[in-house]
Chains A and B, each alone.
Chain A
Amino acid sequence: MAKDSMLPIYAKAVLKALPIGPKTGPELPTRSLDRSMPIEAEAYAGFTSVVGAPLRDAVHPGYLHVLAFPLSMQLLSDPEVPVPMLGMVHIHNAIDVLRPVHIGEVVDFHVELGGPFEHTKGTTIEVLVEAKVEGETVMRETTTYLAKGRKLVGAEAKAQIPHANFTAPQATALWRLDPIIGQRYARASGDYNPIHISGLAAKGFGFPRLIAHGMYSASRALAAVDPRLEAYRWEVSFAKPILLPSTVGFAITEGRRHAAADFAVFDLRSGKPHVLSAVTELPD
Chain B
Amino acid sequence: MSTPTQRAVILGGNRIPFARSNKQYSKASNLDMLTSALDGLVARFGLAGEAIGEVAGGAVLKHSKDFNLTREAVLGSALSPTTPAFDVGQACATGLETVVSLNNKINAGQLESGIASGVDSASDAPIVINDSMREILLELSRAKTMTQRAKIAAQIRPAYLAPQAPSTGEPRTGLSMGEHQAITTAEWKISREAQDELALASHQNLARAWDEGFFDDLVTPYLGVSRDTNMRADSTLESLAKLSPVFGRKLDAEATMTAGNSTPLTDGASSVLLGSEDWARDRGFTPLARLVDAEAGAVDFVDGAEGLLMAPAYAVPRLLARNGLTFADFDVFEIHEAFASTVLSHLAAWESEEFCRDKVGLDGALGTIDRTKLNPLGSSLAAGHPFAATGGRIIASTAKYLKTTGKKRSLVSICAAGGQGLTAIVEAA
Contacts and interface: CB of A to CB of B under 8 A. Distances in A.
A257 B159 CA distance: 34
A98 interface: no
A172 B173 contact: yes
Contacts of B303: 172, 252, 256-257
A83 to B, nearest CB: 33
Interface stretch (B69-77, B130-138, B325-333): B130-138
Interface string B251-265: 100000000000000
Contacts of A174: 169, 173-175, 179
Interface stretch (A11-19, A177-185, A276-284): A177-185
Interface in B292-308: 302-305
Given A172-B304, A252-B303, A256-B303, A184 B132 contact: yes
Given A251-B304, A252-B303, A184 B174 contact: no
A180 B159 contact: yes
Contacts of A187: 132, 155
A184 B157 CA distance: 11
Given A179-B159, A183-B157, A256-B303, A173 B132 contact: no
Chain B interface, >50% SS class: loop
Q: How large is the interface on B (under 10, 10 to 19, 20 to 34, 35 or more residues)?
A: 20 to 34
Contacts of B183: 170
A172 B173 CA distance: 6
A173 B304 CA distance: 9
B250 A268 contact: yes
Contacts, number: 48
A256 B302 CA distance: 10
B162 to A, nearest CB: 8
A49 interface: yes
A176 interface: yes
Contacts of A184: 131-132
Interface in A42-56: 46, 49-50
A179 B174 CA distance: 17
A205 interface: no
Contacts of A171: 175
Contact of A257 (B132, B155, B169, B302): B302
Nearest to A247: B174
A46 B174 contact: no
Nearest to B250: A268
A180 B175 CA distance: 21
Contacts of A178: 130, 159
Most buried by B among A173, A175, A187: A173
Contacts of A170: 183, 251, 304
23 contacts: A49-B131, A49-B135, A50-B131, A170-B183, A170-B251, A170-B304, A172-B173, A172-B175, A172-B302, A173-B174, A173-B302, A174-B173, A176-B174, A178-B130, A178-B159, A180-B130, A180-B157, A180-B159, A180-B160, A183-B157, A183-B159, A184-B132, A268-B250
Interface of A: 46, 49-50, 170-176, 178-180, 183-184, 187, 224, 251-252, 256-257, 268
Interface of B: 130-132, 135, 155, 157, 159-160, 169, 172-175, 179, 183, 250-251, 302-305
